Amino acid sequence: MAGRIRAEDITAVKERTSIEDVVRDHVTLRPAGVGSLKGLCPFHDEKTPSFTVRPAVGSYHCFGCGEGGDVLSFVQKVEHLSFTESVERLAAKLGLELRYEDGTGSGRDGGTSLGKRSRLLEAHRVAQEFYASILLDTASAVARAGRDFLRDRGFDAAAAERFGVGFAPGDGEALTRHLRERGFTEDEMVTGGLSGRGSRGLYDRFRGRLVWPIRDTTGDTVGFGARRLFDDDPIAAKYLNTAETPIYKKSHVLYGLDAAKRSIATERQAVVVEGYTDVMAAHLAGVEGAVATCGTAFGVEHIKILRRIMRDEAELAPARVVFTFDGDAAGQKAAMKAFGEDQRWAAQSFVAVAPDGMDPCDLRIAKGDAAVRALVDGAVPMFEFAARTTIRRFDLDTAEGRVEAMKAVAPIIGSIRDTSMRPEYTRTVSGWLGIEVEQMAAEVRKAGRVRRDDTHDPTRRPASTDEVPEPAPGEAAASLPVPDLRDPVVFTERQLLQALVQYPQQFDDATVHSLEPHAFVAPAHRAVLDGIRIAAPTHRRGSTAAWVAAVTDAAPLAVRGLVAELSVASLPTRFDPSTGLPPQRYLEALVGGVRDAHLGRQIADAMATVRRAQNDPDTDPADLRERTMALHRLEIERVRLREGLSS
């Protein structure tokens, strides 16, 4: 990523770009009321247009999938670009020269009209061509070791050309000399990570190695990965990658993504492999959604990149991400870590491990293209892989081992985002362990509850900095997880909050007061309810606009956008034609639905407590009686609630 663009230049780009024109490149718009235009959303599949643009405000919002923002966020999302790239792209269209915070900018260096980022990209383009020409020059022996390496792994010249593979000569100055002849400055070569600076001047960073160009999503080369070929290579590392530069951040790049992007977007499947040769092998075998990280573990930024491309949206059928890992312990550890990360997206993760632990490149050599495709097609859910890997640590022949395994595996089931899948997985795993389903289910609920208590406090800042999304300039920092509307309970919560925001007069004080934030599952919903409860009841009896303003003021910063969305989104119910209001019965059902779900969770917890107490020989009978009574009271409360709703 390039140095920071000056804030006033970003503002100028936004002001001078017409959001309507930019959106019209992707979406057909039609007028929809005063000052707004509508079209089919480019970010989710829909048949009825809910994607709205307000040119005068310079913003867009989709009422279907919730995407929204300004012209820069639109370009970022639709073109799969970073923030900086989006600004640069729009600036180029406007003919506007950008200035960067470190004082560099377009127009420097002898009148060249290219900006700093563009100069570095150009240097990489020239370097890639240089390396490739040397590899492919069969008349010369310089790169023979590189060609041999590729041939041994099943790659011919056409394959090398397709992926832009090249060879960095061992003499140590060939590229530096070439770039200098092409007019690049020493600073550009060093800053771009192509040359190093030593006591005797510049030297090539990659020497005597096979090099793969690492490209960004638009296909521009931003760095290189280089493999050791010679025993006398002074650098022992098998792979050497470009260090962090203004255009290369290893946590933000995926090797092969430029080639895989189209397949990932249309198939909605990404395949994460471990190395450059694995990416090549997979693509050549027909698995065209294959990518690899470059010298780093698969991380949060990589997830963000893939999500944007595969349209990992709640409304869509889940996208698939398949990880291939070595069958060894390190690979399994990586899989377990990825499973933790997995909870950040709606996509379903799978793991593909070849029976004999071969990577895709070896597999293609040994068994051909079809075997690589079969490996990916036969991937098992990440959950299953994680659960089996965990269970394997315990001795299931003893009762203690089974209980320990159950405790270890319960959090994995409890962390599956799609709650409707949990009972099925609970049954499956209890079968593997040979224990009662009910016992397993209680353990899963317990694990799930610990997680909820841990994460659902909206006032709590995320523990890890990883969890804080990168704020766009001028945007508030912390945000809460987007409520998963596929969960019917969460969807009911949302409708209730919408009604509370839009039709405050329809609710009496007692009802509003009786709603407790912890009765809501989604942290963002709890935070909105906080705003509603804090806003003075007097506002609720005033105008709706004043009420919305009061709730917005009272709500935590992170959910103010959500309050705005809730205030305009339409309620999925038939309105009373005589009053123009949502029917009272519908509103009561929403309040009841949220309470019922909360009671359900409380009852499940209470049952687990009672069952544990029953199985514990040390339990005080009076204590057990009390717990049983508490459970009974909750059950009666739920029966009464349901009777009230159906009467």
| Smallest separation (angstroms) from Zn ion to the CB of 62 | 3
65 scored as a contact of Zn ion (CB under 5 A): yes
| Smallest separation (angstroms) from Zn ion to the CB of 316 | 10
Let me know the angle formed at the C-alpha of 492 by 489 and 493, rounded to the nearest 5 degrees: 90
62 scored as a contact of Zn ion (CB under 5 A): yes
Binding mask 107-146 for Zn ion (x = CB under 5 A): ----------------------------------------
Rg (CA), the chain: 29
Q: Which of 290, 206, 280, 210 is nearest to 243 (CA)?
A: 206
Q: By CB under 5 A, name the one of 5, 39, 43, 379 that touches Zn ion.
A: 43
Segment interacting with Zn ion (CB under 5 A) among 44-52, 164-172, 295-303, 546-554: 44-52
> Cα(111)–Cα(463) distance, rounded to whole angstroms?
48
44 scored as a contact of Zn ion (CB under 5 A): yes
| Smallest separation (angstroms) from Zn ion to the CB of 51 | 5
| Smallest separation (angstroms) from Zn ion to the CB of 33 | 18
78 scored as a contact of Zn ion (CB under 5 A): no
Q: Write out the E strands in 205-251.
A: 209-215, 221-228, 239-241
Phi, psi of 74 (to 5 degrees): -65, -50
170 scored as a contact of Zn ion (CB under 5 A): no
Residue 288: what residue type?
Answer: E
Q: Which is nearer to Zn ion, 65 or 519 (CB)?
A: 65
Q: Which is nearer to Zn ion, 62 or 121 (CB)?
A: 62
319 scored as a contact of Zn ion (CB under 5 A): no
* Sign of the torsion angle spanned by Cα atoms 328, 333, 338, 339: positive
Alpha helices in 378-470 (DSSP H): 382-391, 399-414, 422-433, 437-455
Q: Which is nearer to Zn ion, 43 or 130 (CB)?
A: 43
Place of tokens 């929809």: 32
Q: By CB under 5 A, name the one of 3, 39, 49, 64 that touches Zn ion.
A: 64
In sequence order, which residues have a C-beta less than 8 Å from that of residue 197 and are 6 or more positions away? 186, 190
- Cα distances (angstroms) measured from residue 185 to each of 124, 221, 309, 510: 13, 19, 36, 73
| Smallest separation (angstroms) from Zn ion to the CB of 218 | 23
Residue 370: what residue type?
Answer: A
| Smallest separation (angstroms) from Zn ion to the CB of 315 | 8
Q: Which is nearer to Zn ion, 43 or 586 (CB)?
A: 43
| Smallest separation (angstroms) from Zn ion to the CB of 49 | 10
Would strands 30-31 and 348-352 be described as parallel, antiparallel, or unpaired? unpaired
> Cα(80)–Cα(54) distance, rounded to whole angstroms?
22
Segment interacting with Zn ion (CB under 5 A) among 36-44, 215-223, 231-239, 369-377: 36-44
Q: Which is nearer to Zn ion, 65 or 379 (CB)?
A: 65
| Smallest separation (angstroms) from Zn ion to the CB of 39 | 10
List the interface residues with Zn ion, window 236-275 (CB under 5 A): none
Q: Which of 168, 167, 150 is nearest to 159 (CA)?
A: 150
How many other β-carbons are positioned within 10 Å of the β-carbon of residue 73?
17
> Cα(101)–Cα(391) distance, rounded to whole angstroms?
53
53 scored as a contact of Zn ion (CB under 5 A): no
Residue 552: what residue type?
Answer: T
Q: Which is nearer to Zn ion, 41 or 335 (CB)?
A: 41
494 scored as a contact of Zn ion (CB under 5 A): no
The kind and range of the H/E element at 71 are helix 71-79
Q: By CB under 5 A, name the one of 41, 291, 480, 515 that touches Zn ion.
A: 41
Q: Which is nearer to Zn ion, 315 or 637 (CB)?
A: 315
> Cα(527)–Cα(559) distance, rounded to whole angstroms?
7
63 scored as a contact of Zn ion (CB under 5 A): no
Segment interacting with Zn ion (CB under 5 A) among 33-41, 289-297, 450-458, 528-536: 33-41
| Smallest separation (angstroms) from Zn ion to the CB of 67 | 5
Q: Which is nearer to Zn ion, 39 or 256 (CB)?
A: 39
Segment interacting with Zn ion (CB under 5 A) among 64-72, 166-174, 199-207, 600-608: 64-72
Residue 523: what residue type?
Answer: P
DSSP 42-66: SSS--SS--EEEETTTTEEEETTT-
Instruction: Tell me which residues touch Zn ion (CB under 5 A).
Output: 41, 43-44, 62, 64-65
